[in-house]
Structure 1
Amino acid sequence: MSHDAPAPKAKVSQTTSETTPAKQTTESSAEALPDVSPTDWQLVLVSPEHKISKEVSANQLVTVDGGQQIDRRIQQPYEELVAAAKKAGIQLKLISAFRSVSDQTSVFNTRVAQLMSRENLSEEAAKKRAMQTMTEPGYSEHHTGLAIDVVDQEWLASNPSMILDESYSEHTGAKWLQENARRFGFIVRYPDGKETITKITYEPWHLRYVGEESAEYIEAHHITFEEFIQELMEK
């Protein structure tokens, strides 16, 4: 299954940035499991196999770039991420953030109806087809306000239609995010080669806020968010 980002998914090997060195990870953040709980607000697990239990409230959201909304608790780390990228010569552009369950339902149902009409599919078949390129309402990380899709302006200028493909991960912006997002508490949520766990293909543009310690641990150990939550539950 792929995700409900605004474009197809990339699938290439990870690279590192030569623009700005990442913050040096400490032994505790890179090796020791952080002293956090899977019930912490920033660690809510939402995925194709985990439905959101409670949608983020409207008063918990704040509007940032281009009218996009995020959980106000991640506004500062998000702005620090953008500022650090700018200092490195990279202008980030937020192309997707919070999306309500109702909005996702509307988009999803429209797509199902289109498939039923154009391809003469049953409703069940149309839903299965739609879920190949979209996330079922209630199962998208964008419902949490903790997920952001970001690209760099250089890439955007050459791709005005915002059709993301594997070439994006080769851009300076994507490389910088892979290496530096963790410093601000974000992870590349759907890493390359982990599709059987995340159920979503590699998306170098999709970041998820989990907190700095957790982000450092996840990225240093090359694990998924799902695997990290499992480790926390077993400790």
Structure 2
Amino acid sequence: MAPAGNSTTKRKGINAILMGPPGAGKGTQAPRLAEKFCACHLATGDMLRAVASESTELGKRVKATMDAGKLVSDGLMIEMIQSSLDKPECKDGYILDGFPRTVPQAEALEEMTTRLQRPLDTVVEMSIDDKLLVERITGRLIHKPSGRSYHVKFNPPKVEMTDDVTGEALIKRSDDNAETLKKRLGAYHQMTKPLVNFYRERNLHTVVNAARKPQEVSETLNAIFRMALQRRQ
């Protein structure tokens, strides 16, 4: 086994953020990218849903916030991410999916990753028209244990309502409805879009057309990530 810190024998994975509104395809692309580029996938939506499913006061507050289509407080999000980045599976690289969502969160992340000496390599914004998202969201199916996502029309499972890998049942999220989506999109545009300028100023921001077929989007993301790693070297 190579000694710790020997960068010549072990290539570190990517450090990246996937930005985009709910339904843009982050949940589809991030697990593939994490496997390909030696990184852990931190999907804050899944992390929050796990908390919301607990019968605690915190869980009840998080669930109420999510059901209303609002964003969870910066403090809780930052605490969750910091804890996750300290885990062994995230030491080589990380792909953040759903964080940061506000400029204060981005500033906290920058301070955090600077301290850890694991700065971002790239920030990719998956852009798609709001009108296309309603159909995507309302038809979305999820394999809860893994986070794999499907769509009844655009990316159906091989067997109806069944995960392709495990054969387990798929579910529809309670917040995957048109009314909640409109609220979530409003919050996204108001609070998250300013992040574009934040990361553009740092020469990290790239836009990808997420309205294309998943395979086409995947190929574009792979190319962006490869270029980011080359710049680091």
For the superposition of Structure 1 and Structure 2, which TM-score range results when normalised by the shorter chain? under 0.3
TM-score (norm 2): 0.26
Determine which structure has greater relative contact order: mean sequence separation of CA pairs < 8 Å that are 6+ residues apart, divided by chain length. Answer: 1
